[in-house]
Amino acid sequence: MGLDYSYEIFTPARNVTRALAELVQLAPRPRRKPPLTLTIPGGDRLVVPFTSHFKSDPVDCSAGGTLELDTSLVVGVDDAVREFVEGHGFELDELGRAAIGYIYLTVRFAPAEHPRYASLQFTAATTGMSLMFEQSASVRAVFTGLAAASGGVCCVLDTEIDSVELCWLNGRSAQETVPGPRFADWSDVVATWPDQDQ
């Protein structure tokens, strides 16, 4: 069994449509599969250039729960990305970025642990991609940039050990582990998020 590293972004639940719209901007062009129509809690509709379970059938998430998407994202090429794409036939776009996919996205619209926040978890499809997630500053920048653009409060890298690496917290880049010197556990991180009582 391989490594399944992931980046997870937490954003106010009201920002899920915004987060997914920002994600669409990171998709490679052109797209070979038909677009997918999503209905988000609150009734927002969004067309995305991804699949869900490798199908393009419309997905209705208006009642909440979870959404699973098969995504591909463009990232700048640094040494870790270059090592991953070499020998795999990846082509660079006109801006010199590589399309990386599939990256499996699970959206939890209102997790029980913190129902005012949605979770967007991006999981690497292979061990090689997992190592790239861990080593690439360019990949980290994509996910922290997505957290910032969507009004996210937190972004973490999970490398399947007893701690996570905090990459973004309340509008600022971060680089520390949880648990660690600043945060004894995950509940200490969540306690810093704004608007929990609204």
Best CA proximity match to 37, nearest among 50, 54, 26, 28: 50
| Cβ-based burial of 124 (10 A; exposed 0-12, middle 13-18, buried ≥19) | buried
* Chain segment 107-163, per-residue pLDDT in tens: 999 888 888 999 999 999 999 999 999 999 999 999 999 999 999 999 999 999 999
The dihedral through the CA atoms of 78, 79, 84, 85 has a sign that is positive
58-83: pLDDT as tens digits: 999 999 999 999 999 999 999 999 99
Give the orientation angle of helix 137-149 with respect to helix 16-24, to 10 degrees.
140
Q: Are 14 and 152 in contact (CB under 8 A)?
A: no
| Tokens 């913190």, located at residue | 114
157, 7 Cβ separation under 8 angstroms: yes
Query: Given pLDDT bands bounded at 50, 70 and 90, which one contains residue 196?
Result: low
Angle at 18 between CA 12 and CA 24, to 5 degrees: 135
The continuous run of DSSP H or E covering 123 comes out as strand 117-124
Mean confidence (pLDDT) of the chain: 93
Contacts of 50 (CB under 8 A, 6+ apart): 27, 36, 69, 70, 71, 72, 105
pTM of the model: 0.95
Q: How confident is the model at residue 1 (pLDDT cuts 50, 70, 90)?
A: low
